[in-house]
Amino acid sequence: MAEVIEIEAGWRVDLGGSTAVFTLAQTRSEGQSLDLAMTNPQRDGHIAQVLKEHGLEGFGIAAINQVHGTAVSEWRESAEVMDADAVLVAQTGVAAVAVAADCLPVILASEGGVVAVHVGWRGLAAGVLECAVEAIRHRCDESAVVAALGPCAGVCCYEVSAEVLSACGAAASSVSGHLDLRGEASARLKSLGVRTVAVVDQCTICSDADRFFSYRRQHGTLGRQGVVAWLN
Ligand SMILES: [Zn+2]
């Protein structure tokens, strides 16, 4: 397993050729907002701050308009921001970003590429992870893709309908009527031959209220934490 290291902005995972940072709602010591929602005009500045903590400046940002679908966007200079739930970056100097508030942020990493994925139950059911794995294998290294999974609604709190459980093809979870989103994602990745090498095992709903944005706890908050990842 890759080491998960606490940093000011959240948690860093070193994935060999790439690095992923799973962010908090605010910085640990100063409590400065890290709201990465697309609607937040400060978003790019917050991402730049995360990168600066690693001595990286002047990066491009590979963004997506997340729509709970399965499309994968590959970042290209001056291309429009696409409706997609995964964004692939295959060059240095650009950060792949996906955001969430109870949904699961995932990083897939391979030789020469990273993909940031937004995985909610709809995306999971529709196959966004399968599409993202196919995209990175097609674009980059065929064989060795690894995954890092971030904070999301935990099985402790994520009560869903029988229809949602069925749509996700979810195995019986440790809490009846609850979806283990992270566990299901990890199982799907494993079945695709992708090893999960790091997990930030935090529940966005029942953690300290100022730690994460939570759509459920805050009844539709606009704030988002997320993942920022780049090729080293
Ligand atoms: Zn919980």
Looking at the predicted structure, is the pLDDT value of residue 1 above 90?
A: no
> What would the mean pLDDT of 207-229 be, rounded to a whole number?
93
CATH number of domain containing 119: 3.60.140.10
For 118-131, the pLDDT digits (tens) are 999 999 999 999 99
> Could you tell me whether strands 4-7 and 10-14 are parallel, antiparallel, or unpaired per DSSP bridges?
antiparallel
Report how far ligand 1's centroid is from the alpha carbon of 27 (Å). Answer: 21
Backbone angles phi, psi at 47, to 5 degrees: -65, -40
Domain that holds residue 208: 4-154+195-231
Question: Residue 92 corresponds to which tokens in the numbers above?
Answer: 């240095």
Task: Please check whether residue 135 lies inside any domain of the structure.
Answer: yes
- Domain membership of residue 140 (yes or no) is yes
What backbone torsions phi and psi does residue 223 show, to the nearest 5 degrees?
Answer: -70, 150
Kindly report, residue by residue over 141-193, the tens digit of the pLDDT: 777 999 999 999 999 999 999 999 999 998 878 888 999 999 999 999 999 99
Query: Among residues 67, 186, 89, which one has the least CA distance to residue 135?
Result: 89
Per-residue tokens: 183: 């566990």
The answer to the question of residue 168 being in a domain is: no
- What count of residues does the chain have? 232
Instruction: Tell me the pTM.
Output: 0.97
Question: Above 90 in pLDDT, residue 209?
Answer: no
From ligand 1's centre to the CA of 202, what distance in Å?
8
- Tally of structural domains, the chain: 1
Residue 193 CA, ligand 1 centroid: distance in Å: 29
Residue 167, domain member (yes or no): no
Report how far ligand 1's centroid is from the alpha carbon of 152 (Å): 9
